[in-house]
């Protein structure tokens, strides 16, 4: 076993190491200047900028290799176009969350430095997940991503709702981790390897009939699938989502609805599109059923919610379903399905973070609920926020020219094309369109409240920090730019999707 680290290896690992160091630097800075918000924020953003720069450097290092992939540590971690795309997305998500949170946290006397350090550690886990080429690295990345997430959910530790959301998130999260790990153990034992390409090779031999398929391996794969379904909150494994999202502090809810979600999709891509691809015909049945139930139930329950945070929690379940449609199309042989999924992930991240940033800004003063009535007459109280919220909700609905439209468009288009070979995917595409139409009702209800209802009581408007406006500007620009010029992301997305297969 060769464990020496070459300069090329160091370049490939640099973004990951820098992310860990940035998280520790935030803690150290807070140790030297306790409670100084500016110092902690400056360290966070400088750290994120360095990580983003190193991701691009590592990407250059990978591009100059023969097949566009650089692997380190005996091939257990890899940098390719997919790693780069997902890493940059995770850095943007962490950066936007760090921009939206301080106002909300400051008003509740919660420490900003600890929040940012925890957030950076969660980002580190997601980055490890995105580049993993080994099932154990995959598991470690998953744990490193979700453990800080539990802490963030319970960050408002004196608040009953926040801790209640955190304990539900934690219990179901670690239960699903144990299930995932159990599946991992049997896949390891039966295939004799933890390398993703090794597992893929073994499954290929099974499909070709040269290796035996044992019930234990089937059980392992079933447990892996169940664990992953918990992590992406697919119906019927979604019970933790509404409570965890409603209870968490609002900026955390924004983060939880995109960061761990895209991270879990990175896990799905690496696991199913990488390791388990030879048996795609078998597991795609499960993905199709999950996609159909997830988007339908998510939308139906979202229709009945009066709390906007809880409504967006159910809507995030529905969005998981749309992304699964793209993945089902990919598994049915349409490469565009994976491209659509990645595009959807990026579009969803910016628009959903934006929507939650608006809610967090409205809730800045303590004691303001996220009920629909809070949004009544917002256009007169805070016109800028009301317009931005309208934009993000239209994008979540999928109305052109916004990012959400092209996300849905690519995913459904891929499903329609895959429908030529697998009629179930045509049905899935139709169901996705019906769902998108039904979703318009509950998104636009918030818009109606903001523009047409009178507030039940007069609430004085409150100022918002420059950081929040800067973050909102980024989300807005991305939401509109991805809706007007989808080409800026299509090149990245297609090279990222193509990198899955390269060994």
Determine the interface stretch with another protein among 176-184, 281-289, 392-400, 404-412 (rule: CB under 8 A).
Answer: 176-184
Q: Which residues contact 306 (CB under 8 A, 6 or more apart)?
A: 371, 372
The contact mask relative to another protein for 247-286 (x = CB under 8 A, - = no) is: x---------------------------------------
The number of helix segments (H) and strand segments (E) in the chain equals: 19, 2
Q: Distance between CA atoms of 413 and 428, rounded to whole angstroms? A: 11
Tell which one of 49, 56, 107, 161 touches another protein (CB under 8 A). Answer: 161
Tell which one of 9, 28, 39, 182 touches another protein (CB under 8 A). Answer: 182
Determine the interface stretch with another protein among 15-23, 159-167, 199-207, 489-497 (rule: CB under 8 A).
Answer: 159-167
Q: Distance between CA atoms of 181 and 42, rounded to whole angstroms? A: 38
| Phi and psi based region of residue 78 (left: phi greater than 0; alpha: psi -120 to 50; beta: remaining) | beta
Q: Are 100 and 468 in contact (CB under 8 A)?
A: yes
- Residue nearer to another protein on the CB measure, 177 or 422: 177
Is residue 399 part of the contact set for another protein (CB under 8 A)? no
Nearest approach in angstroms of CB 180 to another protein is: 9
Nearest CA among 74, 376, 290, 25 for reference residue 33: 25
DSSP of 116-159: HHHHHHHHHHHHHHHTB-BHHHHHHHHHHHHHHHHHHHT-STT-
- Residue nearer to another protein on the CB measure, 370 or 435: 370
Tell which one of 8, 57, 140, 211 touches another protein (CB under 8 A). Answer: 140
Q: Are 351 and 476 in contact (CB under 8 A)?
A: no
Is residue 150 part of the contact set for another protein (CB under 8 A)? yes
Cis-peptide into 414, omega within 30 deg: no
Q: Tokens 């918030």 sit at which residue?
A: 446
DSSP of 307-366: BHHHHHHHHHHHHHHHHHHHHHHHHTT-HHHHHHHHHHHHHHHHHHHHHHHHHHHHT-ST
Is residue 4 part of the contact set for another protein (CB under 8 A)? no
Determine the interface stretch with another protein among 21-29, 168-176, 321-329, 444-452 (rule: CB under 8 A).
Answer: 168-176
The contact mask relative to another protein for 84-123 (x = CB under 8 A, - = no) is: ----------------------------------------
Is residue 165 part of the contact set for another protein (CB under 8 A)? yes
Is residue 186 part of the contact set for another protein (CB under 8 A)? yes
Binding residues for another protein restricted to 211-230, rule: CB under 8 A: 216
Is residue 373 part of the contact set for another protein (CB under 8 A)? no
Tell which one of 24, 65, 73, 163 touches another protein (CB under 8 A). Answer: 163
DSSP of 211-256: SPPPHHHHHHHHHHHHHHHHHTT-TTS-THHHHHHHHS-HHHHHHH
Tell which one of 87, 103, 243, 339 touches another protein (CB under 8 A). Answer: 243
- Residue nearer to another protein on the CB measure, 138 or 324: 138
Sign of CA dihedral 301, 302, 305, 310: positive
Nearest approach in angstroms of CB 297 to another protein is: 17
Tell which one of 18, 122, 129, 147 touches another protein (CB under 8 A). Answer: 147
- Residue nearer to another protein on the CB measure, 192 or 236: 192
Tell which one of 17, 42, 56, 185 touches another protein (CB under 8 A). Answer: 185
Residue 420: Cβ within 10 Å count: 12
- Residue nearer to another protein on the CB measure, 240 or 322: 240
- Residue nearer to another protein on the CB measure, 175 or 485: 175
Which DSSP state fits 184?
A: H
Residue 188: Cβ within 10 Å count: 15
Tell which one of 68, 73, 174, 371 touches another protein (CB under 8 A). Answer: 174
Q: Distance between CA atoms of 283 and 269, rounded to whole angstroms? A: 13
Nearest approach in angstroms of CB 369 to another protein is: 12
Q: How far is CA 476 from the centre of its chain?
A: 18
Q: Distance between CA atoms of 314 and 297, rounded to whole angstroms? A: 8
Determine the interface stretch with another protein among 40-48, 133-141, 232-240, 417-425 (rule: CB under 8 A).
Answer: 133-141
Tell which one of 12, 129, 151, 323 touches another protein (CB under 8 A). Answer: 151
Q: Distance between CA atoms of 148 and 168, rounded to whole angstroms? A: 15
The contact mask relative to another protein for 338-357 (x = CB under 8 A, - = no) is: --------------------
Is residue 397 part of the contact set for another protein (CB under 8 A)? no
Tell which one of 27, 28, 57, 181 touches another protein (CB under 8 A). Answer: 181
Q: Distance between CA atoms of 248 and 154, rounded to whole angstroms? A: 6
**Quick one: tokens of 498?**
């193509």
The total number of residues shown for the chain amounts to 503
Q: Are 294 and 235 in contact (CB under 8 A)?
A: yes
- Residue nearer to another protein on the CB measure, 247 or 404: 247
Binding residues with another protein: total (CB under 8 A): 41
Residues that bind another protein (CB under 8 A): 136, 139-140, 143, 147, 150-151, 154, 157-161, 163-168, 170-171, 174-175, 177-179, 181-182, 184-186, 188-189, 192, 194, 216, 242-243, 246-247, 310
């Amino acid at each position: 076993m060769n464990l020496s680290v070459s300069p090329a290896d160091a370049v490939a690992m640099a973004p990951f190491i820098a992310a860990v160091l940035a998280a520790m630097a935030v803690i150290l800075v807070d140790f030297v200047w306790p409670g100084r918000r500016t110092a902690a924020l400056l360290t966070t953003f400088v750290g994120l900028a360095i990580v983003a720069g190193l991701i691009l450097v590592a990407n250059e290092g990978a591009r100059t290799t023969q097949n566009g992939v650089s692997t380190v540590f005996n091939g257990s971690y890899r940098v390719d176009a997919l790693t780069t795309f997902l890493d940059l997305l995770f850095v943007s998500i962490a950066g936007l969350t760090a921009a939206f949170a301080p106002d909300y946290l400051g008003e509740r006397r919660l420490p900003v430095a600890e929040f940012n350090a925890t957030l950076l550690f969660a980002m580190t886990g997601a980055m490890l997940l995105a580049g993993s080429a080994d099932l154990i690295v995959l598991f470690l990345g998953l744990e490193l991503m979700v453990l800080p997430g539990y802490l963030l959910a319970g960050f408002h530790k004196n608040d009953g709702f926040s801790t209640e959301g955190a304990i539900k998130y934690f219990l179901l999260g670690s239960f699903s981790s144990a299930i995932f790990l159990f599946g991992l153990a049997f896949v390891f034992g039966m295939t004799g390897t933890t390398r993703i390409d090794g597992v893929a090779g073994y499954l290929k031999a099974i499909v070709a009939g040269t290796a035996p398929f044992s019930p234990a391996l089937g059980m392992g794969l079933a447990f892996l699938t169940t664990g992953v379904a918990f992590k992406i909150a697919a119906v019927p494994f979604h019970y933790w989502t509404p409570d965890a999202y409603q209870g968490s502090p609002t900026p955390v809810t924004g983060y939880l609805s995109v960061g761990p979600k895209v991270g879990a999709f990175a896990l799905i891509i690496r696991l199913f599109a990488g390791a388990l691809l030879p048996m795609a015909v078998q597991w795609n049945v499960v993905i199709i059923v999950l996609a159909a139930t997830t988007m339908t139930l998510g939308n139906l329950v979202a229709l009945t919610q009066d709390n906007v945070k809880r409504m967006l929690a159910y809507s995030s379940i529905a969005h998981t379903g749309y992304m699964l449609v793209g993945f089902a199309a990919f598994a049915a042989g349409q490469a565009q399905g994976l491209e659509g999924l990645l595009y959807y992930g990026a579009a969803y991240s910016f628009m959903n973070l934006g929507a939650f940033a608006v809610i967090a800004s409205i809730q800045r003063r303590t004691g303001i609920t996220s009920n629909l009535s809070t949004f009544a007459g917002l256009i007169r109280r805070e016109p800028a926020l009301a317009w931005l919220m309208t934009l993000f909700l239209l994008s979540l609905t999928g109305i052109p020219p916004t990012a959400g439209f092209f996300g849905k468009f690519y995913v459904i288009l891929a499903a329609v094309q895959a429908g030529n070979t697998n009629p179930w995917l045509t049905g899935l595409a139709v169901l996705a369109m019906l769902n998108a139409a039904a979703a318009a009702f509950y998104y636009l209800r918030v818009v109606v409240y903001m523009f047409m209802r009178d507030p039940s009581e007069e609430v004085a408007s409150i100022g918002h920090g420059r950081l929040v406006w800067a973050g909102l500007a980024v989300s807005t620009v991305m939401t509109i730019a991805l809706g007007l010029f989808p080409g800026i992301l299509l090149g990245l997305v297609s090279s990222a999707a193509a990198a899955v297969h390269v060994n």
